[in-house]
Amino acid sequence: MKANNVEELVELGRQLGAKLKGGEVIELVGDIGAGKTTFVRGMARGLGIDSEITSPSFVVMNSYPARDGLTLNHYDFYRLEDPGIMKTEIAESLADSKNITIIEWADSIAGVLPENRQIIQINYLPDSDGREVVIRHHELAAGHPELVSGSNKLNVARGDSSSDWIPKRIRNDNGDSE
């Protein structure tokens, strides 16, 4: 997927956030300044969160109450060399099906994360302010195409409402987006 500007990146996040039901684990990958927290702002809007969404870079974790009794837990381990007690906290967040757990810079706690997590990679587009957003399943699902989202195409500028980009975890039992 392509987001030509900040507004489109937020809109992509909002569309994904509107589909979340709790229990999802999302690993955000991208360089510093790629737009990971901006994408989370959009997801928060889709979850009905009106609070200001800020990067948890210096505090490690921000938690926000969301619609339907859900909680968005947003972690950033960029400055965390040794995860220590954070591994336990992440494990607790993952155990609660009402939590949506989003993690930036997850390398230090990779052993705690479930195999069925979604990975959202945000890349700079050359010669523009745009971003490429790629949603995929953890590498361990590579041999199981049924676990991976479809063509990952969504053009916000055209208003394309195709659900092919929605990871299977956030589709209904019929495989359709809700």
SS3 call for 160: coil
Q: What is the pLDDT of residues 144-177, one digit of tens each?
A: 343 334 333 333 332 333 334 333 333 333 444 3
> Rounded mean pLDDT of 97-108?
88
Q: Which of 12-21, 121-130, 141-150 has the highest mean pLDDT?
A: 12-21
Write down the pTM of the prediction: 0.74
Dist. CA 125–CA 128, nearest whole Å:
6
> Rounded mean pLDDT of 114-125?
88
Dist. CA 155–CA 142, nearest whole Å:
25
Q: What residue spans define the domains of the chain?
A: 2-170
Question: Would you say domain 2-170 falls under CATH 3.40.50.720?
Answer: no
User: What is the model's pLDDT at position 114?
Assistant: 83
Dihedral of alpha carbons 165, 167, 173, 178, sign: negative
Average pLDDT of the chain is: 76
Band (pLDDT 50/70/90 cuts) for residue 138 is low
Angle at 135 between CA 134 and CA 140, to 5 degrees: 120
Cα-Cα-Cα-Cα torsion 144, 149, 150, 153, nearest 10 degrees, comes to -150
User: 19, 81 in Cβ contact below 8 A?
Assistant: no
Band (pLDDT 50/70/90 cuts) for residue 8 is very high
Long-range contacts formed by 134-141: CB under 8 A, 24+ apart: 134/1, 135/1, 135/16, 135/165, 135/167, 137/167, 137/168, 138/27, 138/113, 140/115, 141/115, 141/116
User: What is the model's pLDDT at position 59?
Assistant: 74
Dist. CA 102–CA 104, nearest whole Å:
7
User: What is the model's pLDDT at position 80?
Assistant: 63
User: What is the model's pLDDT at position 168?
Assistant: 37
- Portion of the chain with pLDDT greater than 70, in percent: 72
Q: What is the pLDDT of residues 37-93, one digit of tens each?
A: 999 999 999 999 999 998 877 677 899 999 999 999 999 877 666 667 677 788 888
| Residue 141 vs residues 85, 104, 122: alpha-carbon distances, Å | 28, 20, 20
The first and second tokens of residue 84, run together, are 């220590």
